[in-house]
Amino acid sequence: MLARLSAVLLLVVFAAPFAEAQGALTFASTTYDFGEIMEGDVAATTFTFTNESAAPVRLTEVRPSCGCTAPDWSRDPVAPGEAGSVTVAYDSKGRPGSFSRDVLVRAETISEEGSAVLNPVSLTITGTVAVTELAGGPQQGSLMFNADAHDFGIVSPGRVVYTFLVQNKGDRPVRLRDAAVYGGEVEVLLPDTPLFVGDLREIQVAVNTEAVEGEAFDIAVVLDTTDEAQPKMSLRLTGQMASDG
């Protein structure tokens, strides 16, 4: 019985500092929605946190999930009870449509006894980049697209999503009736109403990369439309599967 009690007390002694370290960094909020912003704008927000431990806290790594997100953060150690911040900026140039980006924050406490690593915190920004007019994009028949191809780069097994923008530049409505997929497994979400003259809409594509055979994919999405000038229109999706090593 005494041996068991000693083991329990020893566990408590070693677990207590770790539990304190886990709760040392408290953010007021870990998510922020920009709502709608205009393409080309750089939208920024600041996440604030408080050091609730008995030792200074230092941010050791602030890593965004993509190059379009630029973070800045408190570089000096934050004293107990004091506040620090992480500012996240999103560059919307060339990135129309909805977005969701993460920034991973790692930190540690600093004391005479040594440092204690804290649990990482994920900060998330979301929003929608609005475009009122497409110009200079690839045109197929009466419809202009922001792009007719998208490269996902290196991806892992799962689901990757991209949103094409399409605008009716013709003189009569065009309906996107259906989409045929060649070379992969893709879910295509088309507008459910016709594109009237000047209308700007989204075509969302989701690739199931778990179904990819080999090291890469090259998928064609052929749209069946009511456009008299060009009834069939094509979009291309490419990517490279991440290496297991």
Q: Go through 106-127 and write b for each residue having 16 or more CB atoms within 10 A of its CB, e for each that does not.
A: bbbbbeeeebbebeebebbbeb
State yes or no: pLDDT of 27 exceeds 70.
yes
Q: Which residues, 6 or more positions from 12, have their beta carbon under 8 angstroms from its beta carbon?
A: none
Alpha-carbon torsion (47, 53, 57, 63), positive or negative: negative
Which tokens is 94 given?
């060339």
Percentage of the residues of the chain whose pLDDT score is greater than 90: 69
State yes or no: pLDDT of 125 exceeds 80.
yes
Amino acid at 230: Q
Maximum Cα interatomic distance, the chain, rounded to a whole number of Å: 89
State yes or no: pLDDT of 16 exceeds 70.
no
Q: Go through 178-204 and write b for each residue having 16 or more CB atoms within 10 A of its CB, e for each that does not.
A: ebebeebebebebeeebbeeeebbbbe
Give CA–CA dist 143/91, Å, rounded: 27
**In the block, residue with structure tokens 């290496």:** 243
Per-residue DSSP letter, 209: G
Strand partners, 217: 239
Alpha-carbon torsion (39, 91, 47, 45), positive or negative: negative
Position 61 scores a pLDDT of: 94
> What is the separation of C-alpha 45 from the centre of its chain, rounded to a whole number of angstroms?
16
Q: What is the pTM of this model?
A: 0.52
Q: What is the side-by-side strand order in the sheet with 83-91?
A: 25-27, 42-51, 83-91, 69-73
Question: What is the average pLDDT across 46-53?
Answer: 94
Position 245 scores a pLDDT of: 53
State yes or no: pLDDT of 71 exceeds 90.
yes
* Residue pLDDT, tens place only, 149-183: 999 999 989 999 999 999 999 999 999 999 999 99
* Residue pLDDT, tens place only, 72-113: 999 999 999 999 999 999 998 878 788 999 999 999 998 877
User: Please, what is the Cα angle at 14 between 10 and 18, to 5 degrees?
Assistant: 155
**Greater pLDDT, 148 or 68:** 148
* CA-wise closest residue to 106 among 59, 71, 69: 59
Position 244 scores a pLDDT of: 67
* Residue pLDDT, tens place only, 175-220: 999 999 999 999 999 999 999 998 888 999 999 999 998 899 999 9
Give CA–CA dist 187/220, Å, rounded: 12
> What is the separation of C-alpha 230 from the centre of its chain, rounded to a whole number of angstroms?
34
